[in-house]
Amino acid sequence: MTEPTALTLVTGGSGFLAGHTIAQLLAAGHRVRTTARSAGREAEVRDTLTRAGADTTELSFVAADLTEDTGWAEAVAGASHVLHMASPFPPQQPDDPDDLIVPAREGTLRVLRAATAGGVRRVVLTSSFAAVGYSPRPAGWVYDESDWTDPSDDNDPYVLSKTLAERAAWDFVAATPGAPELTVINPVGVFGPVLGPKLSSSVGIIAMLLSGRPAPLPRASFAVVDVRDVADLHLRAMTSPVAAGQRYLASAGAAVTLPEIAATLRSRLGGRAAQVPEFVVDDDEFRAVAATRPELAIFAGLLGEPKQVSHAKATEMLGWQPRSAADAVTATAQSLLELSGSTR
């Protein structure tokens, strides 16, 4: 186990998952250092965590960018563990895939090189289900940690960036003497309570539903996990001896459809979910609508059989117990309503 006073570096401290993870580390008695692309982000991150109830006395900051070497030696200095969470996740896919692939892959290698030089014991890399489940499989396939997305398949730049970055990390530790232990977490869509007004892409879906979009509803589906549970899994992966060299899927279970999520919100939130759409359109009709409305393309790509995702490995090896998908999306919606001041 990590000593309570040990220093842990969390990269990308302004992120949704990183914020929850930093809060859990501080609550557990860890000293935490985090990075941001500029020193000007420190006040924002610290204020957000303080409003969420975290004591940030043992939190420090270093300015470091994934595209530059500057700052990373200082960031890892004295850290026993690194949770590498910083990675580009744009609201829209770039025209040039390298705009995502290069900072994701090279940034990961930059952090691993610095961690090796700094004597870091273990790096926990936040990868994604994108690196696991975006290559064709037979109907009814249950995805687990042995699955990989094939980089040669026709996937969008984000999927490719996460796949290539994780592959590069495993290759680095295998080929580099003195490299830290590596553990990888592969979350599905991350939902849960927001810490501030900056919304992640996943949380943005719930915000859309609360505002009456998309209408009509497609039968798009995706697996769900609560951000608090993903943060907890990172802490378990960081401290457990058996987690070294392992890869863990973070999911509440099988994928759920957008109509199922909408029904959960209407059932649990009552009048506060009055604008959530109800009418469901079939797949072909939705594809026709999405062809003229670029903002719907993300949902068109999620049509088809819902994917089955196993979290058995994390449960059995690390004792991890995630909340249900229904609880995760409800908590997301409740926090968004509180943020907007709605109490109906």
CA distance 224 to 226: 7
pLDDT at residue 91 greater than cutoff 80? no
Confidence of residue 98 (pLDDT cuts 50, 70, 90): confident
pLDDT at residue 273 greater than cutoff 60? yes
Confidence of residue 6 (pLDDT cuts 50, 70, 90): confident
Q: What average pLDDT does the chain have? A: 93
What's the rounded mean pLDDT across residues 115-129?
A: 98
Residue 2's pLDDT is what?
A: 45
Confidence of residue 294 (pLDDT cuts 50, 70, 90): confident
pLDDT at residue 343 greater than cutoff 50? no
Catalytic residue among 162, 198, 307, 313: 162
Residue 90's pLDDT is what?
A: 58
What's the rounded mean pLDDT across residues 305-320?
A: 97
pLDDT at residue 79 greater than cutoff 60? yes
Number of domains forming the structure of the chain: 1
Check if the beta carbon of residue 93 is closer than 8 Å to that of residue 297: no
Alpha-carbon distances of 271 from 175, 274, 275, 328, rounded to whole Å: 57, 5, 9, 19
What's the rounded mean pLDDT across residues 12-19?
A: 95
In a domain, 111, yes or no: yes
Express each pLDDT in 175-220 by its tens digit: 999 999 999 999 999 999 999 998 998 999 999 999 999 988 999 9
CA distance 141 to 331: 29
pLDDT at residue 274 greater than cutoff 50? yes
Confidence of residue 58 (pLDDT cuts 50, 70, 90): very high
pLDDT at residue 268 greater than cutoff 60? yes
Alpha-carbon distances of 195 from 34, 55, 126, 327, rounded to whole Å: 17, 14, 19, 17
Residue 5's pLDDT is what?
A: 64
Check if the beta carbon of residue 88 is closer than 8 Å to that of residue 156: no
For residues 183, 179, 59, 35, the Cα torsion angle rounded to the nearest 10 degrees is -90
Which is higher by pLDDT, 344 or 339?
339
User: For residue 95, which amino acid is it?
Assistant: D
The whole model's pTM is what? 0.95
CATH number of the domain that residue 171 is part of: 3.40.50.720
Confidence of residue 3 (pLDDT cuts 50, 70, 90): very low
Residue 1's pLDDT is what?
A: 46
In a domain, 171, yes or no: yes
Q: Which domain holds residue 128?
A: 7-192+224-251
Q: 25, 31, 24, 28: which is closest to 6 by C-alpha? A: 31
In a domain, 199, yes or no: no
DSSP secondary structure of 148-207? ---TTS---HHHHHHHHHHHHHHHHHHHSTTPPEEEEEEE-EEES--SSS---HHHHHHH
Express each pLDDT in 301-312 by its tens digit: 899 999 999 999
pLDDT at residue 344 greater than cutoff 90? no
In a domain, 309, yes or no: no
Alpha-carbon torsion (94, 98, 103, 105), positive or negative: positive
Of 82-96, 175-189, 230-244, which gets the smallest average pLDDT? 82-96
In a domain, 256, yes or no: no
pLDDT at residue 342 greater than cutoff 60? no
What's the rounded mean pLDDT across residues 111-128?
A: 98
In a domain, 283, yes or no: no
In a domain, 320, yes or no: no
CA distance 240 to 238: 6
Residue 39's pLDDT is what?
A: 80
Of 27-41, 83-97, 223-237, which gets the smallest average pLDDT? 83-97
Residue 266's pLDDT is what?
A: 97
Residue 162 annotated in active site: yes
In a domain, 56, yes or no: yes
